[in-house]
Structure 1
Amino acid sequence: MSKYYITTPIYYVNDVPHLGHAYTSIAADVLARHRKIKGDDVFLLTGTDEHGAKIAEAAKKAGKSPQDFVDGLVPKFESLCKVLNIQYNQFFRTTNPKHEKIVQELIGKLKDAGYIEKRKYEGLYCVGCEKFLTKDDLVEGKCPDHKTAPVTHSEENYFFLLTKIAQEKDLYGLIKSDKFKVSPVARKNEVLGKIKAGLEDVSISRESVEWGVKFPGDEKQTVYVWVDALINYYSATKIYKNGPTWPADLHLVGKDILWFHAVIWPAMLLAIGEKLPKEVFAHGFFTIGGYKMSKTVGNVLDPGELVEKFGADAVRYAILREFPFGEDGDISEEKIANRYESDLSNGIGNLLQRTLSMVNKYDVKIKNSDSLKDIPFRGNDMDDFQKLNKAISGYIENLNFFSALNSIMLFVKVLNEFIDQSQPWKLAKENKNDELSDALSYVYNSLSDIVGYIDPFMPETSEKMKKQLKDLKPEPLFPRLES
């Protein structure tokens, strides 16, 4: 049994969760479920990032202390996981005192190793991102994510000597050679290009932000919220009795936070002599009207409302089916509804219902799959179970959920077409009982395989299908939507 440690980002709790948070968590859960089915000992970590200026500001507006404010929002993020059937092993909170101590210890190690120094800094600061931007980062003078102009900000901070450690340990070479893997390739090339263009040392403390971990040795400063957040993946291996083992096998992140995970985080680990995560994978964004879905911008979809309308499995399916995981794509309630009707209700749901209805109507005795190997209608690559199973497994492990689901639904289409071509109703009318049994047994056994294929993506649907196939009692898997 292999250990596998996978993480989502910890989500910033300055507001309620939206579908963008659900996206990464669903992908992580699908991969975790798949690896558990294969027999791996999987640990899935998720959680919340609870410090920083934005949270302090939001708490002040709400008339609450920062701690009371985050305590009120965290259950909504935990509930999101429950609603979407995400089986995490641990929900991490950065306000955990044990984590705060580990953050201070790690920064102490960076200081002792000679990779931190105090400097005065002035630059362009985006409040929404909680980070300094360069002029090259801006689009028409504004932050590309938040569409606001940064403010000029000056203060004395502690700096992590990123340039020094990156050169000493050849971070560029580690990424280029995949010794530290950054995926997909387009994101890897972006990171390499930025490193080649020149690195700058990173401010890792704030003197004007009170809500955060106190910087070790200087009570007037707090640890930069992003540094605090990154360390959570490492802290989890130290805090929990049955926790994961460092290093992480996979950090799943959005492309907007790739730089922190692909450059700053590994550089910090190299500086203290720790092992690097094995892979960082950056997915694309949902867009609505061409803009990234963002709480700050205000163009969000509520996952709870979507689940109430379509069900958790349909939402899980639709957002991974609509476009490849590593790319950007547009999403909407209408697109989810279209997937629900075309792929789920009229596709897999219809296939199961019509198959079981005919098995019952014609009193067919189901044959096992071994006795069907040589029947005339086998031979298409799509109905070769071993090839299909291997392909789907490979797609999931490479985070190519789009192709995995496309293969499954293509197989569903092949089976529906096979029923139309073999015409079981005609075989029954002509008393061709052996051919009738072969035809429906083939589809029935194929549906049994589909149960396994969809299990990581749609666990509730998989269980419903398994029960209906066992009991031979068809019920609608995906009822018609109310108009």
Structure 2
Amino acid sequence: MADPFYLTTAIHYPNGKPHIGHAYETIAADVLARFHRQMGRDVRFQTGTDEHGLKMAQKARDLGVTPRELADEMSGYFRDLFDKLDISYDRFIRTSEDVHHTASQEIWRRMEANGDLYLDRYEGWYSIRDEAYYDQSELVEGEGGEKLSPQGTPVEWTVEESWFFRLSKYQEPLLALYNENPDFIRPDSRRNEVMRFVEGGLRDLSVSRTSFDWGVKVPGAEDHVMYVWVDALTNYLTGLGFPEETENMGKFWPADLHLIGKDITRFHTVYWPAFLMSAGIELPKQVFAHGFLLNKGQKESKSLGNVTDPAELADLYGVDVLRYFLLREFSFGQDGSYSHEAIVNRSNSELANSFGNLAQRTLSLIFKNCEGDLPLLADLAGADAELLDQVNSVCKSDLPDAFERLAFAQGLEAWMGAVFACNAYIDAQAPWALKKTDPDRMKTVLATLYVCIAQLATAVIPVMPGSMAKLRSTMGVGEGAVDTDWYTELASSDFCLDKPQGLFPRLELPEADEGEGA
């Protein structure tokens, strides 16, 4: 039986339409899900929208609609975007679902039964934008002297009756978790930040609000709604059927990976494991906090006028080009910067000129010179065997090893190295010249390239599922392994190659961006 693999993104806050950061995280998760399915694992991939909290209630009030109406509309935009981006999620969860309220109330009851919840009065600083509480020592001063959160968001002094979670009780268990399981938080820079925070001491956490009612009701205290992060984090259990002992709970929990942005690391690596310890539920295996996606080196904001609609980028450049660029351009886990120029240059140099041209040249030569019949792979020379070994090693070892570590850029760099090797080979062998001087040798060269291209397309189908599926279909690639035995069987069948179509047209910069640097 295939090993199960449960992967989640953070659920996205839908108080506005999705931005490029939402696309980045969800594309990365989708690539990982497709990769593990390709490796034969039984994958469950969950994403969704986090719809409760004061921020949503205020936004709805400002728009003159109910929070439910706002959530319904905005959640739809996220689903539409993910469909456009070819996201293969198994469950899209909404925290407004009744089943999620049931799950959240159950984890609350378990924490209460463990003696970890008590009623008191909260007085302190709260950021509506972050949906987070901050200690006085964490605040920074704004340009006008105003108090801001560490994220630079406005805070307000809040006083109200609240239920508290005994977070302080879990300081030592959390530190033991980090020390005994060093891979629980990745990358290491995030782990170090969290450990310093916890070592500095934990205060009990306010986990309910009475100033608004858009949220999950606290069991036995209906005038309180749960702090949005208690509710939001529970989604990872809800999607598996918790609190019922479902087949999915038994198969997929604990989660193998929570993939999140670095700005919500504390919630996932301090609060979430503490809640689970209190409720007696096994902890997830790993939390990976990726970096921010910057627009020409700047964070996107409405005030700067640089907010990018990822759907427009996908329409402009192609879904697979966008997916490839976001994982190829910079190291996953660190901040990365993008621009129209960077997307165009990367696509033209690597997808159009290198891989796309390699495939088009090879398949066109077979179509033209062999009438579409695949030549047999025979009489291999040293250069042929060397190329086959190199491409096989990259596709079966180097790229998978990198993707296992979420080192997407490193894996794709190795893949592109194999593409360059194929281009060097075709230029050196010049099969178009061999047509006249040594037609048998031409056939061997083309057969060698055919196997390599099929392997290269298969290796990156998790990254570019649409274009690579199209290429594989053109080449007669089925579900099985791509190797020389597969090719020999295909070449011996009645398969005939149709006239190939270009995969990646050369892109041009939008007029507004011509001449601008990255």
**Please, which of 390, 393, 403 is the counterpart of residue 386 of structure 1?**
393
Correspondence for 1:213: 216
Correspondence for 2:383: 376
For 1:296 and 1:247, the matched residues in 2 are separated by 41
CA 151–348 in structure 1, closer or farther in 2 if over 3 Å, else same: same
Residue 159 of structure 2 corresponds to residue 154 of structure 1: yes
Residue identity in the other structure for 2:158? H
Q: Describe the superposition over 1:221-248 as per-residue Cα deviations: whole angstroms up to 9, x where unpaired.
A: 2101111100010112226977453211
Correspondence for 1:177: 180
CA 35–437 in structure 1, closer or farther in 2 if over 3 Å, else same: same
Q: Describe the superposition over 1:142-162 as per-residue Cα deviations: whole angstroms up to 9, x where unpaired.
A: 646763442222222111111
Correspondence for 1:230: 233
Correspondence for 1:255: 262
Residue 94 of structure 2 corresponds to residue 93 of structure 1: yes
Correspondence for 2:472: 466
**Please, which of 351, 354, 361 is the counterpart of residue 347 of structure 1?**
354
CA 52–373 in structure 1, closer or farther in 2 if over 3 Å, else same: farther
SS at match of 2:120: strand
Q: CA deviation at 1:217?
A: 2.1
Correspondence for 1:52: 53
For 1:160 and 1:306, the matched residues in 2 are separated by 43
Structure 2 residue runs without a partner (length 5+): 477-496, 510-518
CA 179–406 in structure 1, closer or farther in 2 if over 3 Å, else same: closer
Q: CA deviation at 1:444?
A: 1.4
For 1:366 and 1:84, the matched residues in 2 are separated by 34
SS at match of 1:88: coil
Residue identity in the other structure for 2:504? F
Residue 169 of structure 2 corresponds to residue 164 of structure 1: yes
SS at match of 2:475: helix
Q: CA deviation at 1:375?
A: 2.8
CA contact (8 A) 1:160 1:204 kept: yes
Residues 350-361 of structure 1: matches in 2 within 5 Å?
350-361=357-368
**Please, which of 435, 441, 446 is the counterpart of residue 435 of structure 1?**
441
Q: CA deviation at 1:283?
A: 0.6
SS at match of 2:5: strand
CA 323–136 in structure 1, closer or farther in 2 if over 3 Å, else same: farther
Structure 2-normalised TM-score? Answer: 0.87
CA contact (8 A) 1:146 1:297 kept: no
Correspondence for 1:362: 369
Residue 65 of structure 2 corresponds to residue 39 of structure 1: no
For 2:128 and 2:32, the matched residues in 1 are separated by 34
Q: CA deviation at 1:179?
A: 6.8
Q: CA deviation at 1:172?
A: 0.8
CA 356–441 in structure 1, closer or farther in 2 if over 3 Å, else same: same
Residue identity in the other structure for 2:112? K
Residue 89 of structure 2 corresponds to residue 82 of structure 1: no
CA 349–180 in structure 1, closer or farther in 2 if over 3 Å, else same: closer
Residues 309-324 of structure 1: matches in 2 within 5 Å?
309-324=316-331
Correspondence for 1:16: 17
CA contact (8 A) 1:15 1:295 kept: no
CA contact (8 A) 1:6 1:45 kept: yes
Q: CA deviation at 1:426?
A: 2.5
CA contact (8 A) 2:119 2:164 kept: yes
**Please, which of 506, 509, 516 is the counterpart of residue 480 of structure 1?**
506
SS at match of 1:35: helix
SS at match of 2:406: coil
Structure 1 residue runs without a partner (length 5+): none
Q: Paired residues, what number?
A: 479
Q: CA deviation at 1:6?
A: 0.7
CA 30–143 in structure 1, closer or farther in 2 if over 3 Å, else same: farther
Correspondence for 2:458: 452
SS at match of 1:376: helix
For 2:163 and 2:304, the matched residues in 1 are separated by 31
For 1:342 and 1:145, the matched residues in 2 are separated by 40
For 1:143 and 1:474, the matched residues in 2 are separated by 58
Q: CA deviation at 1:350?
A: 0.8
**Please, which of 319, 329, 332 is the counterpart of residue 336 of structure 2?**
329
Q: Describe the superposition over 1:187-213 as per-residue Cα deviations: whole angstroms up to 9, x where unpaired.
A: 111111211122222111112122111
For 1:269 and 1:217, the matched residues in 2 are separated by 21
Correspondence for 2:287: 280
Report the aligned-residue RMSD.
2.3
CA 401–294 in structure 1, closer or farther in 2 if over 3 Å, else same: farther
CA contact (8 A) 2:331 2:408 kept: yes
Q: Describe the superposition over 1:300-324 as per-residue Cα deviations: whole angstroms up to 9, x where unpaired.
A: 2111111111111111111111101
Correspondence for 1:300: 307
Q: Describe the superposition over 1:323-379 as per-residue Cα deviations: whole angstroms up to 9, x where unpaired.
A: 01111011123222222211111121111111112223332864566x466533543
Residue identity in the other structure for 1:156? E
Residue 402 of structure 2 corresponds to residue 395 of structure 1: yes
Residue identity in the other structure for 2:268? H
CA contact (8 A) 2:384 2:448 kept: no
For 1:386 and 1:358, the matched residues in 2 are separated by 26
CA 435–381 in structure 1, closer or farther in 2 if over 3 Å, else same: closer
SS at match of 1:12: coil
